[in-house]
Amino acid sequence: MGTIKSILIVLLSCLLAITLVLMVIDYTINSTLLDQQFIEDRLRDIDAYSLAREELATSILDAVEEIGVQDEHERFSEIINATLTDEWMEEQVEITLAEVLPYLKSETETLELVISCTEVKAQIKDDLSTSVHENPPLELEGKAEPYYELYLMTSYETIDAQLPDEVEFIADETEALELMRQFVTWLENSLTALMIVGIIIIGLITLLLREPQDILRTLGIVVLCASGLCITLALVVSRAIPGAIAGELLPDIVTEDIMSRLLTPFMSPTLTAGIGLAIIGILMLIGAYIMWRRNRVELYRS
């Protein structure tokens, strides 16, 4: 009977440690990937808005050069960078996140997000027209106005192709968003389920051990084990993973430094929770030791 009891306690202790780690992971995802401020801060950290602007400028330039407009990289870059500023890009991301995250969390039932690019496109075209007339490219020097209009018309068509008037997201038509919404719902429900499972396991351990000092000692060891797993996970993901996947499994633009700046804050809640669990575990073991000493003293006096 004693052997069976010991085996049950060990099994329940392992299950409780795993449950605690899963709860920490669940909490980490909810407090990072589903938090608008966290996402915006990380995008600033890796200079994502500037990178996106540069990629867009490059795509427009490449498309323009393919149709015969050459050596205009500096002109287009200056115009696009002056119009599609980091602030504008950040504003569009904030609008998107403010609509998408509540939908993913099932706080809203529908998602019809429309981002308008009409204003910035008009500004880019106006700036391009002004620049071309004030400082014409070599192929337009000495040419009549119709040549300018043809040059600009060709450039405008390319800009329209690369930057649509509106970018529209409708949840019902986006399978990926629906899958993500289901995952987030499952994630939120799983946290509640894990808490219930953890309470049940603690109750079973309490029933099996009965003695307060034994309960505290066992739970303290379990919590310390969960703490070690959380801290190890946080350190491995934030320090080892960036170097392992950057440049091989991800595009060249995603460097090891960028991955590190993303994963370190992402795993910060896991590391913090691990440290917190370590403190709780140590306090439990100290409490168990105090109870053991008190019982020894009372037994000696009796």
Q: Which residue has the tokens 């080892």?
A: 240
Q: Both 92 and 139 in a single domain?
A: yes
Phi and psi based region of residue 64 (left: phi greater than 0; alpha: psi -120 to 50; beta: remaining): alpha
pLDDT band at 269 (very low <50, low <70, confident <90, very high): very high
In a domain, 173, yes or no: no
Q: Both 139 and 183 in a single domain?
A: no
Please return the burial class of 70, using the count of CB atoms within 10 Å of its CB with bins 0-12, 13-18 and 19+: exposed
> What is the SS3 assignment for 70?
coil
Q: What is the count of structural domains for the chain?
A: 2
* Structural domain harbouring 245: 2-34+178-301
Structure tokens at 144: 């009549």
Distance CA 262, CA 37 (A): 14
CB atoms within 10 A of CB 251: 8
The pLDDT of residue 52 is: 74
Q: Both 225 and 287 in a single domain?
A: yes
Q: Both 68 and 127 in a single domain?
A: yes
- The DSSP string of 156-178 is HHHHHHHS-SEEEEEGGG-HHHH
The mean predicted confidence, pLDDT, of the chain is 81
Q: Which of 131, 163, 195 lies at the terminal end of a domain, its last residue?
A: 163
In a domain, 109, yes or no: no
Per-residue b or e along 179-217, where b marks 16 or more CB atoms closer than 10 Å to that residue's CB: eebeebeebbeebeebeebbeebbebbeeebeeebbbbb
Is the pLDDT score of 25 beyond 70?
yes
Q: Both 250 and 224 in a single domain?
A: yes
Q: Both 47 and 125 in a single domain?
A: yes
Is the pLDDT score of 15 beyond 70?
yes
Q: What's the pTM? A: 0.75
In a domain, 238, yes or no: yes
pLDDT tens per residue, range 130-157: 887 887 777 777 777 787 788 778 778 7
Q: Both 144 and 216 in a single domain?
A: no
pLDDT tens per residue, range 37-83: 888 888 888 777 777 777 766 776 666 666 555 556 667 777 777 77
Is the pLDDT score of 246 beyond 70?
no
The HSE-up count of residue 29 (CA atoms within 13 Å, CB side) is 15
Q: Both 155 and 262 in a single domain?
A: no
Distance CA 241, CA 166 (A): 37
Winning range, highest mean pLDDT, from 55-64, 101-110, 237-246, 265-274: 265-274
**Helix 73-83 vs helix 48-66: angle between axes, to the nearest 10 degrees?**
140
